[in-house]
Amino acid sequence: MDIISKDHIFLDEDLKTRDSVIEFIAKNAEQLGISDDSEETEKDLWERENSFATSIDSILAIPHAKSESIKVASILMITTKEIIPWGDAKVDLIISLLIPKENKDNLHLTLLSKLSAKLMDDDFVRFLKTEKNKEEICKVILKTISAKEN
């Protein structure tokens, strides 16, 4: 299973709250075979979210979790029809990182680092928010996380 595929991308979802997004991520992770327990995944996402809001300015949110319930490292991307409140921010782009608890090489830190750096690029964010071709979105995200660090 790839870390991201077109099945991991959800565009123009009718989600209106941070709660509904977290639940949506957990349920879809289980349906996609990423997680074997949506409730535990949701609990672990909330544990991280409650320790600090994962929004970046008022651009996007990056909810993430390391969990026993997650079987394969994955990225889920969601755009919402409307801007939703997320902590002190308002967002319409969510990129979720789901990492197995037994993660020997700190994959979550590498992914967070690479994605966070690229998400400071306005053109990249605009592309993610407006592109409708899921294959293109996958290609660009995979290229971003595969790039060698300088």
CA distance 13 to 50: 23
- Bigger pLDDT: 104 vs 119: 119
pLDDT in tens, 16-41: 999 999 999 999 999 999 999 999 99
DSSP structural state of residue 72: S
Total-model pTM: 0.91
Domains of the chain: 6-146 (3.40.930.10)
pLDDT digits (tens, 9 = 90+) for 55-86: 877 789 999 998 999 999 999 999 999 999 99
User: Cα–Cα distance between 124 and 37 in angstroms, integer?
Assistant: 32
Q: How many CB atoms lie within 10 A of CB 135?
A: 11
pLDDT at 115: 83
